[in-house]
């Protein structure tokens, strides 16, 4: 059987960049989560760039940083700060401005030194590098520059001086303590603001230290290269060594790494040799063939197993061991099949030989014990043999033995058959087949004796033959005596036979009719002659014929009488079908039904006289036609009654005509249809009952229609046909009176009461009249207007909901509105309606809240394009603007700064601004806090491009290689949609280690190489196939 090999391998590598510390935002979340460092450990920034307060007070020190002016006072950490936005300032003109999580600025207006520092954890003896990108406008080597370095607990200083306007500063030191003070000292000796901006400020192990630790991790304590070191690990460490700038240190590291490289090269050679030997065991040199070569022996498998044992890569080794196991299983199965066939051949050969004399298959004789069972058993064993040549030879011997057995059995059977045939023939001459009997059978004649004698002559056994010849002689003597007696009996039989035959038509006793002349006298004379015959068989046959003649004579006499009786019975039954028993009548009796006709027809069918039978059948047909016409008329009336009754019942609830309600589906049309069916009924009693039910349904329908019309008219008085609401503005007294008339005609008391209440309500609302509403401006105190005389109360509604009421008098009203939040929204619709003392609400009048005249808005700002990852949103704005505000999805985010006619708003820390296509708004605010017109824009992404041009990858490739174009910074390998590792990009060339990926050792496997930019974004995906 085939062994399926499913090997899951997690191949992980570190990510190496050109800088000392790779910012986390350079690595995509997915890729970063997939990386497990194998040799070069993580190298985090040891500095905490958080500028939280040490205490939540107005004047405070920093939680993570200490400050001062110089190395002799920084540890005292005496300065205190106050906060304004993202700025932390001392009282003597020094400010730390936090521009973003990765950028700070030291702003110095004091003309003095400014020093900030932080204690970090370090390992004694290890080398570290402090670095930062910086800008320092208008630098001066004596009046505007900065120092960067470390200070020991004994105040030993190790630092570097930087006097350029911008660049990347680096200072490398070897730790002498477990905690080291890292500092930046801004030196300013002139007045005026001086700003030193630092970004990506970090302290981490140096490139040399990381490379040194990476190399060291590859070796055991005894100096031997670790067995787990592979090409991917080497490539990673090599990348770190390439970052080392000190040539001496670099060469020392390279020398050690070359030892590991040689070990990996040796391992690859061993793996290749082992794989070649394993593949050579299988057909087509591939384990997926599921079959081994004919030349594959145990020695070949043992040799391959020995080579596999030398492989050190556990993944490769496991795959090869699985292939070895598969080859061993296939060889074992093959050897077992060969032995099984040999055992089958030996067993079959032994059984075949034992069929022949002296176990010699070349002999032309078989053993006395060889019978069909022995041959069949040997044949069954031969059938199991699979070798065609051996099987054919054995089958030939089986055939030979079968032929010899068949010949032997045939000779024995032939003599037995001759004896059996002769013995049977002789026995059959005698009575009861008993040769000791002194009588022969009636059938025994000279021919039978001669035939038996001829069979006896063929017998070859002399003893058997003599005994049979004696029985033949005895039979011949008995036959001669019998023949003399037979002749006398024959004469008597002939006379009797002639007399019997002459009784029958054509002298034929097989006839079923007698001659017309045959009577009782003729039968009695023939019977007297038969009585003289002595042969019982002949006599019995003649007596049977006499009996037959007698029966025919008796039957003939009886048949004449029976036919007369049948004709009389049939004629009587047919007549009784008709009125007055008169078949010439054109009407049948009321009692005549199908049963009576069928009974008469059955009697007619028994008549045998064709003339009489035909006349009676014509009368039967006439009666049948009269009955069919009668039944059809009865059924037609019944069908009409059933249809009419069904239609009438279906008008009523539950199809019950005793119900006082009709179905919802019952209409004038269905009643008219039912009525039409009732009109077709001819039975006056049934018809009258149905007509009463029709009248009842019509009465109920008329009452329903009157109630529906009344309900529809009443609802039409109200808005939205809702009798629980208010009446329409168009509802007048005439409409109410018309509705009242229809309600008066409603029969159902419950429905009538319901509709009457609605009419009364409409009448009360009409009496209240309609109000007017004066214009109401937002912020006003009262909503005012007029009412119909007599109205004492009004209510105000917003969105159909009553929010407050007020008194009305002398036809006017005022409702206090300034405290109602619903009415402080420009454009808000509202309604005012009169309310009666019983709570009846009158007609509602509507209006809206009017807006105040708004002040002139500041023109909307002009927004520069904002790209994802940029720190600030910038643009130009009107000189009237005092502040600038940022809104996202309608929600205020923060204010930015306005300088002259330009603005900028810090946005790098806003999560939504990191999404391409996110819309945002910017609005200017004047000195009174009024916002101007809003300008909108969206987050854009700078276009980056890249492509991958791969070289061919085969099952023997160690690397996947090729070239890249565009903005490709690194490449990533994916197999089955899962990340495997990153590869290196050098100039326009790339390569990624693939030899340890099992799936990529199989031809036809599809994999992907993704091109990534510096932010980890996928620029291009190259889908490739292993050749």
Judge if 837 and 870 occupy the same domain. no
The Cα–Cα gap between 774 and 814 comes to 10
Tally of domains within the chain:
7
Q: With the C-alpha atoms ordered 703, 704, 707, 708, is the resulting torsion angle positive or negative?
A: negative
On whether residue 67 sits in a domain, the answer given is yes
The Cα–Cα gap between 953 and 635 comes to 93
On whether residue 820 sits in a domain, the answer given is yes
Contact 116, 49 (CB under 8 A): no
The Cα–Cα gap between 862 and 935 comes to 7
CATH assignment at residue 812: 2.60.40.10
HSE-CB at 911 with a 13 A cutoff on CA atoms is 0
The last residue of one of the domains, among 552, 583, 599, is 552
Q: Is 762 exposed, middle or buried (0-12, 13-18, 19+ CB in 10 A)?
A: buried
Judge if 963 and 1010 occupy the same domain. yes
Q: Which helix (H) or strand (E) holds 198?
A: strand 194-205
Phi/psi zone of residue 579: left (φ > 0), alpha (ψ -120 to 50 degrees), beta?
beta
The last residue of one of the domains, among 384, 419, 454, is 419
Question: What pLDDT, on a 0 to 100 scale, did the predictor assign at position 1002?
Answer: 93
Judge if 393 and 433 occupy the same domain. no
Question: Which residues are within 8 A (CB) of 244 and not within 5 positions of it... i.e. 6 or more apart?
Answer: 207, 208, 211, 250, 253
Judge if 193 and 64 occupy the same domain. yes
Q: Where are the alpha helices (DSSP H) in 197-313?
A: 207-216, 231-241, 247-279, 298-309
Alpha-carbon radius of gyration of the chain: 64
The Cα–Cα gap between 147 and 887 comes to 42
On whether residue 12 sits in a domain, the answer given is no
Q: Hey, what are 368's tokens?
A: 């006395």
How far from each other are the two terminal CA atoms of the chain, in whole angstroms?
27
Sequence-ordered strand ranges (E) for 473-566? none
Judge if 901 and 813 occupy the same domain. no
Contact 77, 149 (CB under 8 A): no
Q: Hey, what are 737's tokens?
A: 């009176």
* Residue 114: CB atoms within 10 Å: 27
Question: What pLDDT, on a 0 to 100 scale, did the predictor assign at position 21?
Answer: 35
The Cα–Cα gap between 105 and 146 comes to 13
Q: Residue 37 in 3-state DSSP?
A: coil
Contact 867, 900 (CB under 8 A): no
DSSP 643-700: HHHHHHHTTBGGG-TT-S-B-TT--HHHHHHHHHHHHT---HHHHHHHHHHHHHHHHH
On whether residue 565 sits in a domain, the answer given is no
On whether residue 72 sits in a domain, the answer given is yes
Judge if 239 and 360 occupy the same domain. no
Length of the chain: 1027
Q: Residue 801 belongs to what domain range?
A: 769-850
Contact 942, 1007 (CB under 8 A): no
| Cα–Cα nearest to 470, from 431, 432, 422 | 422
Judge if 200 and 303 occupy the same domain. no
Contact 458, 428 (CB under 8 A): no
Judge if 482 and 411 occupy the same domain. no
φ, ψ for residue 226 (rounded to 5)? -65, 145
Q: Is 574 exposed, middle or buried (0-12, 13-18, 19+ CB in 10 A)?
A: buried
Long-range (24+ apart) CB contacts under 8 A made by 427-433 are: 428/452, 429/471, 429/472, 429/475, 430/471, 430/475
Contact 202, 132 (CB under 8 A): yes
The last residue of one of the domains, among 522, 552, 582, is 552
| Cα–Cα nearest to 762, from 787, 799, 729, 788 | 729
On whether residue 801 sits in a domain, the answer given is yes
Judge if 83 and 112 occupy the same domain. yes
Judge if 222 and 85 occupy the same domain. no
Q: Give the single-character DSSP code of 162.
A: E
| Cα–Cα nearest to 971, from 990, 987, 952 | 990
On whether residue 58 sits in a domain, the answer given is yes
On whether residue 365 sits in a domain, the answer given is yes
Cα 131 from chain centroid? 56
pTM (two decimals): 0.36
HSE-CB at 624 with a 13 A cutoff on CA atoms is 11
Question: What value, to the nearest 5°, has the Cα angle with vertex 607 and ends 604 and 609?
Answer: 130
Contact 926, 882 (CB under 8 A): yes
Q: Which helix (H) or strand (E) holds 543?
A: helix 536-575
| Strands of 829-834's sheet in order across | 776-777, 845-850, 829-834, 793-798, 801-809, 812-816, 782-786
Q: List, for residues 553-575, the tens digit of each pLDDT value.
A: 888 888 888 888 998 999 998 99
Q: List, for residues 66-81, the tens digit of each pLDDT value.
A: 999 999 999 999 999 9
Judge if 64 and 179 occupy the same domain. yes
Q: With the C-alpha atoms ordered 540, 546, 547, 549, is the resulting torsion angle positive or negative?
A: positive
Which residue carries 């930046």 as its tokens? 184
Judge if 52 and 187 occupy the same domain. yes
**Which segments in the chain show pLDDT lower than 50?**
1-37, 39
């Amino acid at each position: 059987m085939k062994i399926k090999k499913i090997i899951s391998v997690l191949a992980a590598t570190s990510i190496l960049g050109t800088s000392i510390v790779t910012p986390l935002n350079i690595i995509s979340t997915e890729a970063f989560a997939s990386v497990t460092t194998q040799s070069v450990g993580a190298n985090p920034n040891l500095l905490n760039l958080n500028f939280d307060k040490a205490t939540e007070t107005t004047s405070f020190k920093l939680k993570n940083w200490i400050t001062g002016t110089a190395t002799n006072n920084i540890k005292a950490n005496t300065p205190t700060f106050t906060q304004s936005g993202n700025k932390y300032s001392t009282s003597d003109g020094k400010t730390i401005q936090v521009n973003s999580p990765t950028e700070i600025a030291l702003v110095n207006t004091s003309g003095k030194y400014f020093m900030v520092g932080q204690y970090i954890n370090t390992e004694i003896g290890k080398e570290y590098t402090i670095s930062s990108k910086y800008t320092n406008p208008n630098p001066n080597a004596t009046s505007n520059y900065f120092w960067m370095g470390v200070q020991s607990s004994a105040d030993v200083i190790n630092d570097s001086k930087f006097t350029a306007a911008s660049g990347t500063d680096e200072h490398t030191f070897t730790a002498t303590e477990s905690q080291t003070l890292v500092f930046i000292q801004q030196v300013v000796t002139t007045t005026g603001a001086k700003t030193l901006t630092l970004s990506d400020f970090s302290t981490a192990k140096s490139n040399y230290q990381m490379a040194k630790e990476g190399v060291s991790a590859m070796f055991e304590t005894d100096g031997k290269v670790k067995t787990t070191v592979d090409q991917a690990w080497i490539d990673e460490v090599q990348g770190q060594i390439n970052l080392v700038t000190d040539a001496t240190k670099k060469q020392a590291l390279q020398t050690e790494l070359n030892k590991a490289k040689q070990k990996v090269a040796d391992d690859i050679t061993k793996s290749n040799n082992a794989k070649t030997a394993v593949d050579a065991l299988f057909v087509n040199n591939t384990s997926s063939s599921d079959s081994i070569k004919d030349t594959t022996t145990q020695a070949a498998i043992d040799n391959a197993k020995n080579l596999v044992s030398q492989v050190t890569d556990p993944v490769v080794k496991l795959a090869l061991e699985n292939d070895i196991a598969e080859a061993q299983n296939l060889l074992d199965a093959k050897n077992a099949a060969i032995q099984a066939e040999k055992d089958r051949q030996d067993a079959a050969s032994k059984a075949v030989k034992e069929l022949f004399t002296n176990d010699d298959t070349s002999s032309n004789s078989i053993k006395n014990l060889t019978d069909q069972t022995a041959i069949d058993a040997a044949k069954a064993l031969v059938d199991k043999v699979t070798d065609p040549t051996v099987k054919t030879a054995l089958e030939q011997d089986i055939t030979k033995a079968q032929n010899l057995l068949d010949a032997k059995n045939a000779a024995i059977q032939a003599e037995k058959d001759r004896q059996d045939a002769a013995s049977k023939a002789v026995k059959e001459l005698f009575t009861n087949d008993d040769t000791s009997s002194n009588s022969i059978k009636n059938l025994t004649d000279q021919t039978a004796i001669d035939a038996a004698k001829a069979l006896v002559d063929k017998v070859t056994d002399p003893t058997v033959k003599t005994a049979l010849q004696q029985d033949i002689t005895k039979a011949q003597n008995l036959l001669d005596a019998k023949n003399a007696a037979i002749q006398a009996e024959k004469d008597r039989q002939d006379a009797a036979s002639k007399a019997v035959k002459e009784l029958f038509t054509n002298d034929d006793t097989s006839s079923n009719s007698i001659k017309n002349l045959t009577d009782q006298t003729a039968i009695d004379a023939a019977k007297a002659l038969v009585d003289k015959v002595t042969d019982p068989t002949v006599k019995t046959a003649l007596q049977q014929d006499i009996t037959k003649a007698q029966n025919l004579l008796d039957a003939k006499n009886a048949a004449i009488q029976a036919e007369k009786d049948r004709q009389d019975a049939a004629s009587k039954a047919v007549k009784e079908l008709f009125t007055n028993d008169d078949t010439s009548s054109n009407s049948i009796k009321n009692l005549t039904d199908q049963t009576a006709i069928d009974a008469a027809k059955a009697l007619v069918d028994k008549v045998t006289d064709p003339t009489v039978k035909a006349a009676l059948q014509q009368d039967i047909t006439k009666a049948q036609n009269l009955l069919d016409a009668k039944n059809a008329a009865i059924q037609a009336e019944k069908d009409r009654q059933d249809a009419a009754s069904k239609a009438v019942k279906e008008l009523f609830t539950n199809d019950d005509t005793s119900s006082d309600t009709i179905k919802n589906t019952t209409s004038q049309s269905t009643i008219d249809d039912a009525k039409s069916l009732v009109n077709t009924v001819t039975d006056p009693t049934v018809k009258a009952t149905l007509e009463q039910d029709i009248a009842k349904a019509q009465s109920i329908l008329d009452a329903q229609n009157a109630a529906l019309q009344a309900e529809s008219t009443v609802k039409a008085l109200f808005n939205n046909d809702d009798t629980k609401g208010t009446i329409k503005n168009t509802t007048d007294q005439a409409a109410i009176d018309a509705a009242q008339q229809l309600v008066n005609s409603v029969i159902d008391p419950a429905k009538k009461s319901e509709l009457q209440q609605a009419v009364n309500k409409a009448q009360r609302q009409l009496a209240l009249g309609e109000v007017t509403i004066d214009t109401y401006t937002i912020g006003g105190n009262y909503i005012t207007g007029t009412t119909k005389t007599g109205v004492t109360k009004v209510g105000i509604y917003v969105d159909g909901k009553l929010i407050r009421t007020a008194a009305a008098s002398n036809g006017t009203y005022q409702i206090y509105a300034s405290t109602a939040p619903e009415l402080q929204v420009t454009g808000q619709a509202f309604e005012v309606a009169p309310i009666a003392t019983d709570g009846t609400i009158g007609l509602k009048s509507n209006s809206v809240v009017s807006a105040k005249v708004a002040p002139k808005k500041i023109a909307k700002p002009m927004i520069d394009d904002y790209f994802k990852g940029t720190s600030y949103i910038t643009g130009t704005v009107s000189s009237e603007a005092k502040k600038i505000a940022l809104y996202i999805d309608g929600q205020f985010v923060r204010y930015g700064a306005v300088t002259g006619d330009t603005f900028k708003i810090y946005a790098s820390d806003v999560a939504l601004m990191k999404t391409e296509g996110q819309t945002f708004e910017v609005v200017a605010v004047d000195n009174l806090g009024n916002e101007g017109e809003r300008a909108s824009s969206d987050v854009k992404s700078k276009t980056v491009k890249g492509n991958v041009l791969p070289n061919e990858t085969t099952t023997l490739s160690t690397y996947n290689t090729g070239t890249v174009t565009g903005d490709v910074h690194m490449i990533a390998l994916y197999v089955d949609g899962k990340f495997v590792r990153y590869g290196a990009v050098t100039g326009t060339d790339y390569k990624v280690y693939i030899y340890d990926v099992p799936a990529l050792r199989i031809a036809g496997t599809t994999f992907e190489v993704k091109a990534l930019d510096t932010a980890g974004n996928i620029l291009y995906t190259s889908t490739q196939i292993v050749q």
